[in-house]
Amino acid sequence: MTPTPGSYVAGQLSELKAKWGWFVALGALMIIAGAIALGNLVLSTVVSVLYIGVLMAITGGAQIVHAFQVKTWGAFAFWLLDGLLFLAAGLVAIVVPLVAAEFLTLFLGISLIIGGVFRLVAAFKLRPAQGWGWIAFSAVIAVLLGIEIIAGWPVSGMWVLGLLLGIDLVFNGVAVLFLGLGLKK
């Protein structure tokens, strides 16, 4: 007999309820990690950039090896160049993480401004629809954040990525913690 979708979900939910403590512990750990990240934004930024750099360097190296494995394929040069670019970017992030953080932060600021402008245009195209103002509001916030990041650049490159990491860890930790407490009930 095949279980119904409702009984399958109920079975998974009861299994999760039995593990509610793990969710609470994970949430608390994430909140603590977020607080540590927020306590030292420069260190958090450097660690984040180093992590990204290592992943990019490994991926770039693997892509270079891959390019030589499929050398007879017509796109060999593209695979090789892409791998070299990833490897070089990863090594730059590893060797000079604060410089890499500055450029990532500048790119983030520019992206927020451009994305916010696009979202603002989309909001005004939605204007007869209910809720279009929320889209416009979020667009204005994105543009203002981008301007704030760029106005403080290059110094903002020292702390913005660590701040975003810390905020994400805290909010995600709170969400997981409350999920665990909700599962306990």
Confidence of residue 2 (pLDDT cuts 50, 70, 90): low
Angle CA 174–177–178, to nearest 5: 85
- Range in 36-50, 60-74, 87-101, 141-155 the model is least confident about: 60-74
- Tokens encoding 52: 């990204």
Euclidean distance between CA atoms 82 and 149, whole angstroms: 29
Boundaries of every domain in the chain: 21-184
Question: pLDDT by residue (tens digit) across 117-128?
Answer: 999 999 888 888
Question: pLDDT by residue (tens digit) across 55-111?
Answer: 999 999 999 999 998 887 778 888 899 999 999 999 999 999 999 999 999 999 999
